[in-house]
Structure formats: structure tokens, C-alpha cells
Amino acid sequence: MMKSVATVLAALLLSTPVAAQTPPAADYRQRLPQDEVIYFVLPDRFENGDPTNDRGGLKGGPLTTGFDPTHKGFYHGGDLKGLTRRLDYIQALGTTAIWLGPIFRNKPVQGAPGKESSGYHGYWITDFTAVDPHLGTEADMRAFVDAAHGRGMKVYMDIIVNHTADVIQYRECREGVPCLYRDRAAYPYQRRSGVTGRAINPGFVGDGVGTANNFAALTDPTYAYTPYVPAAEKNVKVPAWLNDPIYYHNRGDTIFRNESSTMGDFSGLDDIMTENPRVVAGMIDIFGGWIDRFKVDGFRIDTARHVNPEFWQAFVPAMLARAKANGIPNFHIFGEVSDHDVRPAVLAQHTVVDKFPAVLDFSFRQALVETIAGTRGTDAFEALFDGDALYAKGVDTAAILPTFSGNHDDGRFATFVRRAFPQSSDDEILKRVMLSNAMLLTLRGVPTIYSGDEQGFVGDDGDQDAREDMFASKVAVYNDNRLIGTTKTTTTASFGETNPLFRQIAGLARLRVSHPALTRGHMLIRARRETPGLFAVSRFDPATGREVLIAFNTSATPIEQPVQVDTASTVFTALAGTCAPRAVAPGSVMLKLPAFGYAVCAAEGH
């Protein structure tokens, strides 16, 4: 295996020159969102810089502290100090911005007996204003952000508005009795526990009228269930107003359809009533405060599709204004809208209706899965990019969508490749993954690397199975995984820079940020097939019009065929892969691509 890996790496290094250095720190605020290459990290799983905070200041066993480095669903010890200490590594990968998994104080442990897990991931918030002690202190957060900014790197915080930790309980629900969603027709706000119940909340005309006077009439939360807060957690949430059940929907578990999508509890998590103007003002105050205190450069917003559009229509402009007041002109906001369809109608809807500046590009990821980790033709990318017109600002919105191949929820791309082609050689698996990286780092959007992908991590599935430690792991189901591009395992730290995937990503990331055609350039499809094989696009320097032809081969057989280019593009230089030095005729260049190969060819004049 290693001989094949070495061959791939050697070819890559020969074809991808080291490009311009990272822009000076003083310039980083002026970069547009599409100028970045993002690195996504869950701090608990990255590096342990301070073992004294592993238990978050709590005493007892794992079910109290949440700390168990041998269990995939508990805290492992990574923290903000460790992340700061590894900024050299992150920058060596060529990334320019860090998407930081949630760092707010979380409920340490929740879940039914025997099914407990911890809030290591950061999505079970109790205190929206403080850093979780497992991850460090406010001073550690400030030191991290300042250190990143000092290197010219941006920091995007992962935030949550849709829900809090599971604190509120329902008297009708017990262990083994599910809290099924109860809709507004069968359980209206003005009746207790159903249409035949006692009259409550007189004068409340429904959650569609978002005025303070209307919501002042909503005083009794027992319209669907009877919510209560256990005595031990009566004041656990911060700010204090979040402890009142009246600011939650209290309608039971979502089924992810119809009204339950925005009003149901996500896996039992307390679903915040974001229609209430008190909540809108409160959330603007909370997250505006993080901008004021740390001068972060953007927000990734979790579970964005599960919040009513009117909330986002107020929240997003308020955050952009707060950022601008803090001297942050290009604050990047992107929502998580998890939808697995190559055609991006659902994603685009949230930029039009909710007014999100951008969303995570799940459609891009799906196109990669169906082609490189599947057998679909490259016309999948035509369907994907034709949909760019649907976004709020068309291709201008599409240009700032963070693209990705895998993540901490859905799983790593390498996992899908190995699952789809279990009989393939390690060399083929590596080439397929490298091809996906090439697409990610050269096509439109903002490429986002999930930490560990550059080290060849291959999880068993999504969620907890895709959240491996970068530092030496003690989790058996992580350590038995066979990685890509290396013979090592996750039993030892994974911060080396020799894996061919690391070398490839680093080379292409620097290539991307040094060529405006690859960050800000208009993209034109040149070739695609209904079967696996060629996909080619041209991207154009926005200042000079210079063409860069980018081509990919998703098939297991070599390709040699002409591809259309501008007639002014006659002489080409290979930025990656192998390119013909000259056009074969005006408007045509001959491409030769090996199986699962790619090439980036820059025209010398225009």
C-alpha cells in the first residue's frame, strides 16, 4: 500500500507548487468569506492543553463529571489551550479560518439510565454566556481568538438558538413513555391539554403575531403538556429568563415534519419559543455580546431550519450590524440546513425566506457522495450548480456557501468511500478521497475541512463514530479503525504533516488562496457526463479574466478528450496534475486524466 501512496504523493508534490504565504494579519478583516479555507474542530476532540480542567471542576465519576476518555460519548479532555497550542499545525494545513465547535457551558451528562452521554460536543447549552469549564475559561477563549487573529486567521463560532439542554420535563411523560408531538390544532394555546380542556391564556391570538402585547397574554404553558423544571435544575440556565418554561414550545418531540420541525423538541432538548419577542431580544443580546467581547468573525448556526424564519429575519441583520460596529466588515453567517439532495431547492429557500446570507452546502457534499463515493454520472454536478440561481443572490450567494465532504454529524467522506467500494484497494480509496479534496478546494464555495480528514480518519459511521480524537485516543472503536494514507492508528497523536492527504490539502489550499480565479472567480461548466468520468469547469480571474481550467475524472479508467476553452486561452501552465502546454485548436485543449485524477490548468494570457 505504502508504495502506491508514495507514488501519489510524489506526483502531487511535483504538480502543486508552494504558493503565496498567508496574508499579513493586518489584512485578514478585509478578506471576503469566499477567500477563506475553513478548518472545523470540536475542541474536546482536538488537543488536551490543560488536564486539570478535564472534569470541568466537578467531582465524581463520569456520570457526574461527563469525563471518560475511553467512551466515545463523553468528554475526552481537549480544550481551548490545546487548540491554541496547535495553531501552527492548523496553519500548516493552509487553512485560514477556524470554525470552532460550541464552547458554551453544557449540561455535563444527560440521557436515560444506561444511555447517558455528555455534552462534549457543545450542543446541550445551559449557560449561553460562559465558556464550558471542561474547555477552559473566558481568558483561554480570548487567548485563542487573539492568537488566531495575530496569525491572520479568522474564527467562526458555532452557536445554537433552537434549543437548550434537556432540563424541562413533562408530567405526562415517564421512562419508556415517549413525549409525542402535540400540534396546535389538537392542543391550542387557549385550552389546557387539548380542545376540551379548561380555558387558559385569554387574549393570546397565536404565535404568528410577534408583538410584546400579544405574548404578554401567554402566561400558562400547559396547553399541550404539563412542563416543570426539577428542583435541582431550577436556576441552571443563564441568562435567568431561560429558566421559565413559558419561553419554550413544550409540545413534545419533533418528527422533523410540518409544524413540529420548528416547534418540537429535538431528541428531547428544550425547544425555545423563538416567536416570542422577548426571546428574539434575548438572543440578540446574548450573541451580540460574544461579538463585543471576542471580536469573532462569523457564526455557524446549528439547527437553523428548525427555527421560524421571522426570528432569523430579525437576528441576522442585528448580528451583521453588531459586527460592523466592532470593525468586522465581512462577518460570515451560515446556517445548518441539513438536506441531502443534490438539487439545492431546500437550502436555497432558507437564503430567500429566512434571509440567511449563506447555508452549509449539503448539496455539494451529496454530489460528492453520489459520484466519487458512488456510481452516479458527473451530470450530478450540473444539477448542483444549475441550482445556484435559486439562492437569494444567485451565484453571489453560492460563492460564499461553505462546502464540505463530511462532518461530525453525517460522517467522514472516507467512510462512505470505503463502504461503497469494500473490495477496492487502499490505493483506489486514497485516490477517490483525494479527488473529493480536489473538488472541494477548487470549485465554487468556501472549502471546509473537518479535523482528522487530513490524517486519513475513517469512522464507523456518523455522529459519535465520526468524532475521533486528534490527540492519542483511548477509545477502542476509534483505535481499531484502519486509516487512509498511513499505517498508524489513532492510539498516537495525529498531528504529523506527512500523510499524503495532509500534503495534498495543504498544497491545494495555498494554491486556492493565491489565485483569485479559485476564490472569487465566475465558474462555467465545460464538460460533464451521464456516467462516471469527466467533469470540467473554467474559472475566471475577476480582475484579468484569465481562465483556469479545472478537470476531474470520477471513473476507474483514464480519459483523453478535448475540452472547450476560451479562444484566447492558448498556452497553459499546470498548477496541479498534468496539462497540455498548448491548445490543440482555438477554443479547444486536449485533456489527459488518469483514473480518479484531476488537473488545474492556468491559461497564460487572455
Give the mean pLDDT of 276-300: 98
DSSP 373-405: TS---THHHHHHHHGGGGSTTTHHHHTTSEEES
The amino acid at 598: Y
Torsion, Cα 153 157 158 159, to 10 degrees, reads: -170
Taking alpha carbons only, the member of 554, 598, 559, 604 closest to residue 576 is 598
Taking alpha carbons only, the member of 420, 468, 514 closest to residue 16 is 514
Please tell me what DSSP assigns to residue 422: T
Instruction: List CB contacts of 245: < 8 A, sequence separation 6 or more.
Output: 168, 221, 227, 228, 229
* Cα angle for residues 586, 587, 592 (degrees, 5° grid): 105
Is a pLDDT exceeding 70 seen at residue 16? no
Is a pLDDT exceeding 50 seen at residue 14? no
> And the C-alpha cell for 9?
504523493
Taking alpha carbons only, the member of 88, 80, 98 closest to residue 451 is 98
CA–CA gap between residue 528 and residue 530 (Å, rounded): 7
The amino acid at 182: R
Confidence tier at 175 by pLDDT (50, 70, 90): confident
* Cα angle for residues 75, 79, 81 (degrees, 5° grid): 160
User: 302 an active-site residue?
Assistant: yes
Span 42-89, pLDDT tens digits: 999 999 999 999 999 999 999 999 999 999 999 999 999 999 999 999
Angstrom CA distances, 605 to 474, 516, 544, 560, 599, stand at: 55, 15, 9, 24, 18
> And the C-alpha cell for 96?
485560514
**Phi, psi values for residue 274, rounded to 5°:** -75, -5
CA–CA gap between residue 571 and residue 567 (Å, rounded): 11
Cα radius of gyration rounded to whole Å, the chain: 25
CA–CA gap between residue 403 and residue 103 (Å, rounded): 23
Is a pLDDT exceeding 80 seen at residue 605? no
Which residue in this structure is represented by grid cell 451521464?
530
Which of 336, 370, 410, 468 is flagged as catalytic? 336
Angstrom CA distances, 256 to 73, 225, 303, 305, stand at: 24, 19, 11, 10
Which of 132, 158, 302, 454 is flagged as catalytic? 302
Please tell me what DSSP assigns to residue 362: H
> And the C-alpha cell for 177?
413513555
| pLDDT score for 25 | 57
Give the mean pLDDT of 290-310: 98
Strand order in the sheet with 402-404: 358-359, 332-335, 298-301, 154-159, 97-100, 38-41, 446-450, 402-404
Span 324-338, pLDDT tens digits: 999 999 999 999 999
| pLDDT score for 26 | 58
CA–CA gap between residue 271 and residue 245 (Å, rounded): 10
Taking alpha carbons only, the member of 514, 525, 603, 515 closest to residue 564 is 525
Confidence tier at 23 by pLDDT (50, 70, 90): very low
* Coil vs helix vs strand at 231: helix
Number of C-beta neighbours around residue 487 at 10 A: 9
Please tell me what DSSP assigns to residue 448: E
Span 442-495, pLDDT tens digits: 999 999 999 999 999 999 999 999 999 999 999 999 999 999 999 999 999 999
CA–CA gap between residue 449 and residue 438 (Å, rounded): 12
| Cβ–Cβ < 8 Å for 161, 301 | yes
Give the mean pLDDT of 369-373: 98
> And the C-alpha cell for 211?
408583538
Span 197-232, pLDDT tens digits: 999 999 999 999 999 999 999 999 999 999 999 999
Half-sphere exposure (Cβ direction) of 579: Cα atoms closer than 13 Å = 28
* Coil vs helix vs strand at 516: helix
pLDDT over 70 percentage in the chain? 95
| pLDDT score for 178 | 84
The amino acid at 21: Q
Is a pLDDT exceeding 50 seen at residue 166? yes
| pLDDT score for 174 | 80
Span 542-583, pLDDT tens digits: 999 999 999 999 999 999 999 999 999 999 999 999 999 999
- Our separate counts of H helices and E strands in the chain read 18, 21
CA–CA gap between residue 429 and residue 330 (Å, rounded): 38
| pLDDT score for 177 | 80
CA–CA gap between residue 250 and residue 426 (Å, rounded): 50
